[in-house]
A and B are shown apart, each in its own frame.
Chain A
Amino acid sequence: MLQSYVPILILLVLATGFALISILLATFIGPRHPNTRKLSPYESGMTPIGPAMRRYPVRFYLVAVLFILFDIEIIFFFPWALIFRQLGFFGLVEIMVFILILLVGYAYVWKKGALDWE
């Protein structure tokens, strides 16, 4: 049973070896002429205007979490939409209950001011 993993092992060895050899070769035989322009984070792009690790408002986090929440809940509609004819009235009631619970959550988020930016 373990034999079937042999190809994966060979691939792992090959991939690691290839990466190591490329890096080592470049270190030994590649030319090196460093200057300030070459050492900047984006050699051929924008000039950096400040450090990347800056503080930003935590409100982004809240918006992101709310987005993920409602976004993923939408995913539950797709399987239902595919077979809603077969599910019939029962399926309709179930999805209504689901939407109702979502709506309560939405109303809650709205009323509590989680969507206000200012």
Chain B
Amino acid sequence: MNLPDYNFTALTPALILSLWAILILLVDLLFGERIQRWLSWLTVAGLLVTGASALSLWNVRAEGFSGMVVLDNFAIVVTVIAMIAGILAVLLSSDYLVDRDLFRPEYFALMLFSITGILLLASGRNLIMLFLGLELLSIPLYVLTGFARPDVQSEEAAMKYFLLGALASSFLVYGIALTYGATGSTDLLKIRDALQNVQVITSTLTLGGLILILVGFGFKVAAVPFHMWTPDVYQGAPTPITAYMSVGAKAGGFAALLRIMYVAFPQIASYWTGALVLLAIATLVVGNLLAIQQSSLKRLLAYSSIAHAGYILVGLAAGNNRGVAGALFYLLAYAFTNLGAFGIMIALSKKGEEADSIESYAGLSSRQPWLALAMTVFMLSLTGVPLTAGLVGKIFVFSAAAEAGLWTLLIVAVLTSVISAFYYLRLVVLMYMRDPINDFGTQVHLTPGVRTALALAVIGTVLLGIIPGNLIDFTNQTLAITTQTLVALVH
């Protein structure tokens, strides 16, 4: 009897991470509260081991389980982004949870399971696998969003996220079903082969499937008009979860979208480029304009996260090598910057006193000069000011759009980044040029976890910003190999 070709190498990072999650549950069962303090560090260790295992497979390109999963450089880059988001979020979590009596070991296990979902999304080469990855990413996130129980806001956010997420998943499944009906396969490569046939290309089933798949992932990455859940869920969820969600869910969703669009549907690129351009323009305009009038920092960052989904969509819509590299680099830069910004919020928050009101940041520089400086770095990077990671990411995706000749999109993207400068820099102005209005920020206790996370985020944001030359070369070279598998199929 012949077994199908299982090849565990292709699943190594995902296997390690899911086993580590089980290990954390077991450690909790065996030792209980005695190891509470060490649990977050154990989780970080698991993420480091997973990241190292992924990097050790660089350029290996393992394929397994009848082509269901493939671990190529693209998947490894996404894995590294997921590890960064995970490590920073876990470091920010522990003391936040203890402070608010929310500490339960399941938190870390759920987080690892959710990150495993990102890994599957990054390396799945079959629509079924990608759906599985998306669910594995989402279901723990629904639970984690409601983790601040019995806080009503958190429960409401979890319910909202769950209902709308389930709806989006059903759209995705329907899209997969239609695609299967049109092409006769869920394997991305076989879908591409089936699309050589003109009859299949012009079939309504193919187009319907493509659109529904776009809707399903558009929800996950918070693209307009599927963004309605974002502000409420971001505001209600515990802050470290918001931080992780803003980067993790995006990384997973975009990784899957990139692979589906570039591997399965290159033949009908002219269709989805148009759709993605429209999505990107709507996302950029709505996200940036609504962010202006927010008075809550968490909601501001929620709308800003919608806007940044728009910039990444610019890279996707470009449909070329540079677009893929740009989208990935943007995600990497966004991971450091956004988790850093949420980290400052967490550092300044206390139980029952969340540092959420933007007004209360007035005069922070006189009380917490270092935190104010770090926040300034993150805000500048989100705006896209030179010497920060954000600028390099933007240059990357903008030049990809220029290369593809998407001038309207490019103009909208540049104009909206100018608009974004208004609300990001307003916070900086508040911190440095106003007098404090209350005793906000007078008593701040920075724990080792938060300290490490903030330091890592600042270093990441600045380093990615000041060595772009080497990094762009590096990214181009490494991604050349990756994108051979992805983009070469487009042209």
The size class of the interface chain A forms with chain B is: under 10
Q: Kindly state the separation between the CA atoms of A111 and B26 in the bound complex, as whole angstroms.
A: 11
State in angstroms the CA–CA spacing of A104 and B29 once bound together. Answer: 10
A45 to B464, CA, bound (A): 76
Interface membership of chain A positions 49-74, coded 1 if the CB is closer than 8 angstroms to chain B and 0 otherwise: 00000000000000000000000000
- A87 pairs with B26, CB closer than 8 A: no
The answer to whether A104 touches B3, judged by C-beta atoms less than 8 angstroms apart, is no
Which chain A residues border B26 with CB–CB below 8 Å?
104, 107-108
A66 CB to closest chain B CB (Å) equals 16
Q: Does B25 contact A (CB under 8 A)?
A: yes
Contact of A101 among B3, B22, B29 (CB under 8 A): B22
- Rounded to whole Å, the gap between the CB of B422 and the closest CB of chain A is 48
Check if A86 sits within 8 Å of B1, measured CB to CB: yes
Determine if A87 and B3 form an interchain contact, defined as CB atoms under 8 angstroms apart.
Answer: yes
Shortest Cβ distance from A89 into chain B, in angstroms?
12
Closest to A83 in B: B1
CB distance A87 to B1 under 8 Å?
yes
Q: Tell me, yes or no, whether A90 is within 8 Å of chain B by CB.
A: yes
Q: Are A104 and B25 in contact (CB under 8 A)?
A: yes
The CA of A90 and the CA of B25, in the complex, are separated in Å by 27
A105 CA to B491 CA, complexed, in Å: 48
Report the separation of the CA atoms of residues A104 and B109 in the bound assembly, to the nearest whole angstrom.
13
Closest Cβ of chain B: how far from A116's Cβ, in Å? 16
Residues of A contacting B25 in the complex (Cβ-Cβ under 8 angstroms): 104, 108
Q: What is the 8 Å Cβ interface bit string for chain B, positions 6-26, against chain A (1 contact, 0 not)?
A: 000000000000000010011
Which residue of chain B has the shortest Cβ distance to A112 in the bound complex?
B29
Complex contacts, B1 vs chain A, CB 8 Å? 83, 86-87
Residues of chain B contacted by A111 (CB below 8 angstroms): 29
B22 contacts which chain A residues (CB < 8 A)? Answer: 101, 104
Contact residues, A74-109 vs B (CB, 8 A): 83, 86-87, 90, 101, 104, 107-108
Shortest Cβ distance from residue A90 to the other chain B in the assembled complex, whole angstroms = 7
Q: Specify which chain A residues have a CB less than 8 angstroms from the CB of B29 in the assembled complex.
A: 107-108, 111
In the assembled complex, the Cα of A70 lies from the Cα of B25 at a distance in Å of: 18
Q: Which residue of B lies closest to A88 (CB)?
A: B1
- Chain B, Cβ-Cβ closest to A104: B22
CB distance from A43 to the nearest CB of B (A): 39
Contact bitstring B275-315, A, C-beta under 8 A = 1, else 0 = 00000000000000000000000000000000000000000
Give Cα distance in the complex from A107 to B1, angstroms: 35
B109 to chain A, nearest CB (A): 10
A28 → chain B closest CB, angstroms: 43
Residue of B nearest to A97 (CB): B19
Q: Which residue of B lies closest to A100 (CB)?
A: B22
Chain B positions 25 through 41: 1 when the CB is less than 8 Å from some CB of chain A, otherwise 0: 11001000000000000
Q: Whole-angstrom distance from the CB of B132 to the nearest CB of chain A? A: 15
Interface centre among A83, A90, A107, A108 (most CB of B within 10 A): A108
Distance of A90 Cα from B1 Cα, bound (Å): 12
A87 to B26, CA, bound (A): 30
A101 contact set on B, CB distance < 8 A:
22
Per the bound structure, the CA–CA distance linking A107 and B22 in Å amounts to 12
CA distance A90 to B4 in the complex (A): 12
Contacting B at CB under 8 A, from A9-61, are none
Residues of B within 8 A of A104 (CB): 22, 25-26
A83 to B1 alpha-carbon distance, docked (Å): 10
The distance in angstroms between the C-alpha atoms of A90 and B3, with both chains bound, is 10
Closest-by-CB residue of B relative to A90 is: B3
Return the CB mask of B404-427 against A: 1 if under 8 Å, else 0: 000000000000000000000000
Chain A proximity of B142: nearest CB distance (Å): 15
Distance A43 CA – B3 CA, assembled complex (angstroms)? 60
Within the complex, what minimum Cβ distance (angstroms) separates A114 from chain B?
Answer: 12
Question: In whole angstroms, what is the CA distance A87 to B1 when docked?
Answer: 7
B227 CB to closest chain A CB (Å) equals 31
**Minimum CB–CB distance for A51 against chain B, Å:** 26
Least CB distance from A1 to B in Å reads 13
Q: How far is the CA of A86 from the CA of B25 in the complex (A)?
A: 35
> What residue of chain A has the Cβ atom nearest to residue B22's Cβ?
A104
Whole-angstrom distance between the Cβ of B21 and the nearest chain A Cβ: 11
How long is the Cα–Cα vector from A42 to B1 in the complex, in angstroms?
58
The smallest beta-carbon distance between B185 and chain A, in angstroms, is 20
CA A108 to CA B23, docked complex, whole Å: 11
CB neighbours (8 Å) of A90 from chain B are 3
Least distance between B475 CB and chain A CB atoms (Å): 38
| Inter-chain contacts of A108 with B (CB < 8 A) | 25-26, 29
Residue of A nearest to B109 (CB): A108
CB nearest neighbor in A for B26 = A104
Complex Cα–Cα for A86 and B2 (A): 9
In Å, the complex CA distance between A90 and B22 comes to: 23
Give the shortest distance, in Å, between B2 (CB) and chain A (any CB).
Answer: 10
Measured CA separation A113–B25 after assembly (Å):
14
List of B residues within 8 angstroms of A107 by Cβ: 26, 29
Q: What's the nearest-Cβ distance from chain A to residue B280, in Å? A: 39
Query: Which residues of chain B are near A86, meaning CB under 8 Å?
Result: 1
Q: How far is the CA of A1 from the CA of B26 in the complex (A)?
A: 57
Question: A86 — nearest CB in chain B belongs to which residue?
Answer: B1
CB-CB nearest 4 A-B residue pairs: A86-B1, A111-B29, A108-B25, A104-B22
A-B contact pairs, 12 of them (CB 8 A): A83-B1, A87-B3, A90-B3, A101-B22, A104-B22, A104-B25, A104-B26, A107-B29, A108-B25, A108-B26, A108-B29, A111-B29
Q: Apart from A86-B1, A104-B26, what are 9 other A-B pairs with CB-CB below 8 Å?
A: A87-B1, A87-B3, A90-B3, A101-B22, A104-B22, A107-B29, A108-B25, A108-B26, A111-B29
